[in-house]
Amino acid sequence: MVTGGDRNRYLLPVSQAAVDDLVRVLDLEPIEVNIFRGMSPDEDRQRIFGGQVAGQALVAAARTVPDDREVHSLHGYFLRAGDPRVPVLYEVDRLRDGGSFTTRRVVAIQHGRVIFNMAASFQVPEEGFDHAFPMPDLPPPEDLPTLRERLQRAGVPLTPWLSRDRPIDIRHVDPGGPGSTPEELRRPRDPHHHVWLRADGRLPDDPIVHTVVLTYASDMTLLDTSLIPHGGSWSDPSVFMASLDHAMWFHRPFRADDWLLYAQDSPDASGGRGLSRGLVFTRNGTLVATVIQEGLIRKLR
């Protein structure tokens, strides 16, 4: 499985250069018809971050779809740990090209084995019925500390790794998360988790870039939500966390370099697995995406 519970995945607010680097990592090199190659950032990781593989797989699918169609859903399964030292090969199967919908299947391969597969569906935009849940009434991102400020308040030394430029700015609304005290992290709470997030720089105007960046970022905090009722956290060395699957539905246009509220909850945890879901809203309260993920939350034996 490609690890979604990577304890090094929290990202500090940064410069435009880091955002540009993220866009380059999520981009792919065409190798042959329906075959693409993706690279990993030069970081000290044991496994590829799951959001990176999901984002790259979506890019591969989108490269084979007519320009008049937009992605409206994706469903992916993490099958094996990804090796960040070698490229990932993405093979696209053109399952269907209909009058309104286009469907693609993407398989990610390393060392001759499948590490991830995804089905993605694209649609010609059309008018239809329209309703959506309202956005929760929460403090705006400007009233919340950055991750750097949270760590400094907690007396956490800013190591070279923590001080590096990173592409996503995440602001935690609720207690817990990086920079919290051990007592705060161990305190059981209702399984709700809210963060504001955005790319910490300007992204290209291409809508698929914003969709791919949100796909990347949506894997950062979601699985943690299933540990909240149990007094567990991303930093607990006795817990193994890994994404098993990841599904997203995209409802309305958005920009990933504008603030987005990620309202997450966890309906269930059982059998060594935690189920989490998230609603993504723009600053003006528009619901733009829904995310559901199941992952391993297993006590280390």
> Annotated catalytic sites, by residue?
219, 243, 293
Side chain identity, residue 191: P
The pair of structure tokens assigned to 40 is 């990993």
Residue with tokens 């909850």: 265
From the list 36, 35, 50, the residue with the least C-alpha distance to 3 is 50
DSSP 127-170: ------PPPP----GGGS--HHHHHHHTT----HHHHS--SEEE
Strand boundaries in the chain, DSSP class E: 29-32, 35-38, 70-78, 88-97, 101-110, 113-123, 168-172, 192-199, 239-250, 260-270, 273-282, 287-299
The pair of structure tokens assigned to 86 is 């070698």
Q: How far apart are CA 244 and CA 251, in angstroms?
A: 24
H helices within the chain, ranges in order? 16-26, 50-62, 147-153, 160-163, 182-186, 207-217
